[in-house]
Amino acid sequence: MTPVVYVHGLWMPGDESLVLRHRLSQEFALSLHSFRYSAAFASIQSTTERLAAFVSDLKAPAVHFVGHSLGGLIIHRFLEGFGSHPPGRVVFLGTPASGSRAAEQASRFAPVAHLMGSTVAEELLKPQGRRWNHDRELGIVAGTQPLGVGQLLANFSEDNDGTVACLCDLATTESYHATVSNPWSIGIEMYQETGNGIHEAVLDSAVKLVPALCRIFGIQFQIPRAAYKNQPLRRMTTGGEHCVGVFGHRDNTDRRGHGDPGDEIFKRLAAAGAEQFDHDAEEDLAAWKSRQNELVAAGANLEVDGVPGPATRDALKCPQRPDGIWALG
């Protein structure tokens, strides 16, 4: 069986992975191997060196990794420092990739800071500009039920599991929100209640947030016009690199259904001024080719390809459209 290396979190023994071990073995024919370390008495360097030796001793052609909390950061550092290792995938479980407010507060108490050790000091108490540049697929599982004791130390205003908050730098972080479109897309989530209900406040917030993000990132404020056909948009099946605008998860992959995110949000975005195009009929490409031709005739240096990228946006900028977004004058 292909091995999965499990790296536990702070103050955990690794034995908490027994249920995971059973499920991986029974359902996926994977064997779990727990790597144990002491955050209190070992540096990140010595821990990653031990992890490298642990992986090497497996003598496997492929190795997957699962890191819980601090364990995810140890895996990240291991992959950074040791370039020669078997291929595989990585999953982070509640990993505080951008630092930890709870750990920062706890470190103010000397006895607790001592128990945390140098690994926490190096990885969680300093600003980190982490990027996932490794040649492995990364999956991230983040909790939204605030049950952890970290909330006693940190004030969370965003989704969190009680110790780790769910955050993402939209400008720099590529996350698994849009499958094959990840490298050129930004994802936001609308919280759904049991039964797929969405509060009015969530819809209202999304209608305000989406145009703002379009302005900030230079994305044309346009949405699909055609009714959802229980399948992704045809041009999205290859990544949708030339699909510009605001789309639902359902438009991107066949692993989502009608309710992700449903029709109501698109009705409200249309009412807020979003242009509507039938992307499968390539109405957007035709409209933008016409606009690009007009801009070229006016002196702009543009490729007329129907894709309103940065050059087209810059050519559109004027007092009436300061951000270069056609529908947001």
**Which pair of structure tokens corresponds to residue 198?**
């969405």
Over pLDDT 90: what percentage of the chain?
Answer: 52
Q: What pLDDT shows up at residue 16?
A: 85
Q: What band does 300 get if pLDDT is binned at 50, 70 and 90?
A: very high
Backbone angles phi, psi at 217, to 5 degrees: -100, 5
Q: Would you say residue 221 has pLDDT above 90? A: yes
- Of 106-120, 142-156, 288-302, give the range with the top mean pLDDT: 288-302
Q: Would you say residue 104 has pLDDT above 70? A: no
- Other beta carbons within 10 Å of 256: 15
The Cα-based distances of 225 to 267, 278, 301 in angstroms read: 10, 5, 30
Higher per-residue pLDDT: 139 or 302: 302
- Predicted TM-score (pTM) of the model is 0.55
Higher per-residue pLDDT: 68 or 147: 68
Q: Give the max Cα distance, the chain.
A: 71
Q: Domains, the chain, ranges and CATH?
A: 2-167 (3.40.50.1820), 200-316 (no CATH)
Judged by DSSP in three states, 33 sits in strand
Q: What pLDDT shows up at residue 170?
A: 45
Do 312 and 302 touch, CB atoms closer than 8 A? yes
Q: What band does 166 get if pLDDT is binned at 50, 70 and 90?
A: low
| Preceding peptide of 232 cis, ω within 30° | no
Higher per-residue pLDDT: 105 or 317: 317
Matching residue, tokens 């259904």: 257
Give the range among 41-55, 123-137, 222-236 with minimum mean pLDDT: 123-137
- Other beta carbons within 10 Å of 20: 17
Q: What pLDDT shows up at residue 91?
A: 93
Q: What pLDDT shows up at residue 63?
A: 97
Q: Would you say residue 174 has pLDDT above 60? A: no
Q: What pLDDT shows up at residue 183?
A: 73
Q: What pLDDT shows up at residue 281?
A: 94
Q: What band does 171 get if pLDDT is binned at 50, 70 and 90?
A: very low
User: What value does the mean pLDDT take over residues 205-223?
Assistant: 95
Over pLDDT 70: what percentage of the chain?
Answer: 81
User: What value does the mean pLDDT take over residues 158-167?
Assistant: 66
User: What value does the mean pLDDT take over residues 264-291?
Assistant: 97
Secondary structure element (H or E) that encloses residue 19, with its range? helix 18-28
At a CB cut-off of 8 Å and minimum separation 6, what does 138 contact? Answer: 89, 90, 91, 92, 132, 176
Q: What band does 155 get if pLDDT is binned at 50, 70 and 90?
A: low
Q: What pLDDT shows up at residue 9?
A: 86
Q: Would you say residue 119 has pLDDT above 90? A: no
Q: Would you say residue 118 has pLDDT above 80? A: no
Q: Would you say residue 112 has pLDDT above 80? A: no
Q: How far apart are the C-alpha atoms of 5 and 75, rounded to whole Å?
A: 10
Do 10 and 39 touch, CB atoms closer than 8 A? yes
Q: Would you say residue 169 has pLDDT above 60? A: no
- Mean per-residue pLDDT of the chain: 85
Q: How far apart are the C-alpha atoms of 77 and 151, rounded to whole Å?
A: 27
Q: What pLDDT shows up at residue 102?
A: 65
DSSP string, 79-141: HHH--------EEEES--TT--HHHHHHTTSHHHHHHHHHHHHHHTSS-------SSS-EEEE
The Cα-based distances of 260 to 137, 198, 275, 290 in angstroms read: 24, 11, 20, 32
Higher per-residue pLDDT: 187 or 179: 187
